[in-house]
């Protein structure tokens, strides 16, 4: 999407909402711009409209509406292409030990296509804490929002988001409810590491938006110091 001032952007959003929902009486209006892919417009505290921030995000919205294959699905060819891109774009900024980590991380995919083989299931594709509605009083999940990457895909992708955010000990506790966790853990670890590289590549792709480089802050929360005020689920 072309850049525009916030005022003109708001005007476009309102125009499109009124065109699609002509009977909606707009009384209150709030825009949430925290998302990296979409802006969310909350009308009357009852209706939520999403608008893509990037041209490629438009395809994601169509994919979500069709509930087809998840946009997170990656073939071995996709991973190998990413491996090449990481070497081309990120290696000039990495130290020697970090480059070696990348080589070791991609080794299983390079050595065997079977490493990423899986029985696809319906996944969310982005189970970050910003999409989990957690009630601190009842210590339960009230719900999950944003199914923009949902569809058929690798279940390890959902688990990798949780590993990335809360640490591996959290997944170990979840294994009581997902008995096949052990068979997914190696692929989950790979997805988790690759996810961090994807964020870095996104930062280089959009240098005017430094938030791409800050998504790692606050993750792996099972390693926080005792007394930090964090409570387990």
Distance CA 125, CA 158 (A): 5
Which of 149-163, 180-194, 203-217 is predicted with the least confidence, judged by mean pLDDT? 203-217
212 contacts 36 by C-beta, under 8 angstroms: yes
Give burial (CB, 10 Å; 0-12/13-18/19+) of 115.
middle
Distance CA 58, CA 130 (A): 21
Distance CA 149, CA 127 (A): 10
71 contacts 154 by C-beta, under 8 angstroms: no
63 contacts 11 by C-beta, under 8 angstroms: no
Q: Which residue has the tokens 């990348």?
A: 102
Q: How much of the chain, in percent, has pLDDT values that exceed 90?
A: 51
Domains and their CATH numbers in the chain: 6-53 (3.30.200.20), 76-223 (3.90.1200.10)
Residue 3's pLDDT band, with cuts at 50, 70 and 90, is very low
Residue 206's pLDDT band, with cuts at 50, 70 and 90, is confident
Residue 197's pLDDT band, with cuts at 50, 70 and 90, is very high
pLDDT of residue 128: 85
Q: Collect all residues with Cβ–Cβ distance below 8 Å to 187 and sequence separation of at least 6.
A: 115, 116, 118, 154, 156
Per-residue pLDDT at 233 exceeds 50: no
Residue 225's pLDDT band, with cuts at 50, 70 and 90, is low
Give burial (CB, 10 Å; 0-12/13-18/19+) of 39.
middle
Which of 67-71, 118-122, 124-128, 185-189 is predicted with the least confidence, judged by mean pLDDT? 67-71
Where are any strands of DSSP class E within the chain?
29-32, 38-43, 47-52, 121-123, 132-135, 140-144, 151-153
pLDDT of residue 60: 74
How far is residue 14 from each of residues 38, 94, 162, 213, measured CA to CA in Å? 15, 44, 35, 31
Q: What is the pLDDT of residues 74-94, one digit of tens each?
A: 999 999 999 999 999 999 999
Distance CA 120, CA 153 (A): 5
Per-residue pLDDT at 218 exceeds 80: no
Residue 223's pLDDT band, with cuts at 50, 70 and 90, is low
pLDDT of residue 221: 61
Q: Average the pLDDT over 57-83 and give the result.
A: 86
Per-residue pLDDT at 69 exceeds 90: no
Mean pLDDT of the chain: 86
């Amino acid at each position: 999407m072309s850049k525009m001032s916030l005022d003109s952007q708001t005007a476009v959003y309102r125009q499109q909402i009124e065109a699609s929902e002509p009977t909606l009486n707009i009384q209150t209006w709030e825009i949430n711009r925290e998302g990296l892919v979409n802006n969310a417009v909350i009308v009357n505290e009852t209706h939520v409209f999403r608008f893509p921030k990037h041209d490629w995000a438009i395809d994601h919205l169509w994919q979500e509406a069709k509930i087809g294959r998840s946009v997170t699905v990656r073939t071995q060819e996709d991973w190998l292409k990413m491996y090449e891109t990481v070497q081309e774009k990120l290696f000039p900024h990495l130290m020697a030990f970090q480059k070696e980590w990348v080589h070791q991380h991609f080794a299983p995919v390079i050595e065997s296509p079977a490493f990423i083989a899986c029985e696809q299931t319906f996944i969310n594709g982005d189970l970050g804490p910003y999409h989990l509605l957690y009630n601190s009083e009842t210590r339960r999940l009230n719900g999950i929002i944003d199914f923009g990457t949902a569809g058929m895909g690798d279940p390890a992708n959902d688990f990798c988001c949780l590993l990335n955010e809360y640490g591996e000990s959290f997944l170990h506790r979840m294994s009581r409810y997902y008995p096949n966790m052990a068979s997914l853990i190696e692929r989950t670890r790979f997805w988790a590491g690759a996810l961090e590289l994807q964020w870095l590549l996104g930062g280089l792709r959009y240098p005017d938006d430094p938030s791409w480089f800050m998504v790692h802050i606050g993750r792996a929360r099972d390693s926080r110091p005792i007394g930090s005020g964090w409570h387990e689920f």
